[in-house]
Amino acid sequence: KQEVTQIPAALSVPEGENLVLNCSFTDSAIYNLQWFRQDPGKGLTSLLLIQSSQREQTSGRLNASLDKSSGRSTLYIAASQPGDSATYLCAVGTGANSKLTFGKGITLSVRP
């Protein structure tokens, strides 16, 4: 059974800092991996999708990497801003038509 872990559960950083959010998964036979953002009381917004054949994806100040062999992904946020404050969830897909398994998320607070 696939398990996805995100540690720590919460993180507080000063504005402008570059930071890395970690995600680990137990079964390396994945189809893809997604990072989502969730604002309080809102749904999830997909940030980056990495297919199993890819090593990384970039969107603006965000960069996500994938290392299947070690069962890890990282989300790098450059020059963090208070608007980046949210919960970031990692989700692993194990097939084209199978469910996503989510981590419990990392709640990020960026202090002005």
Partner 1 sequence: DAGVIQSPRHEVTEMGQEVTLRCKPISGHNSLFWYRQTMMRGLELLIYFNNNVPIDDSGMPEDRFSAKMPNASFSTLKIQPSEPRDSAVYFCASSLEGVGYGYTFGSGTRLTVV
Question: CA–CA separation, 4 vs 77, rounded Å?
Answer: 20
- Angle formed at CA 22 by CA 20 and CA 28, multiple of 5 degrees: 140
Task: Single out the residue of 88, 90, 79, 82 nearest to residue 109, CA to CA.
Answer: 82
Q: What is the smallest separation between the CB atom of 21 and partner 1, expressed in angstroms?
A: 16
How many residues are given for the chain? 112
Nearer Cβ to partner 1 (71/93):
93
Nearer Cβ to partner 1 (80/91):
91
Q: What is the smallest separation between the CB atom of 100 and partner 1, expressed in angstroms?
A: 6
Q: What is the smallest separation between the CB atom of 16 and partner 1, expressed in angstroms?
A: 30
Nearer Cβ to partner 1 (12/98):
98
Catalog residues that contact partner 1 under the rule CB under 8 A. 31-32, 34, 36, 42-46, 49, 51, 89, 91, 93, 95-100, 102-105
Task: Single out the residue of 77, 76, 102 nearest to residue 90, CA to CA.
Answer: 102
Q: What is the smallest separation between the CB atom of 104 and partner 1, expressed in angstroms?
A: 4
Nearer Cβ to partner 1 (80/101):
101
Question: CA–CA separation, 86 vs 30, rounded Å?
Answer: 26
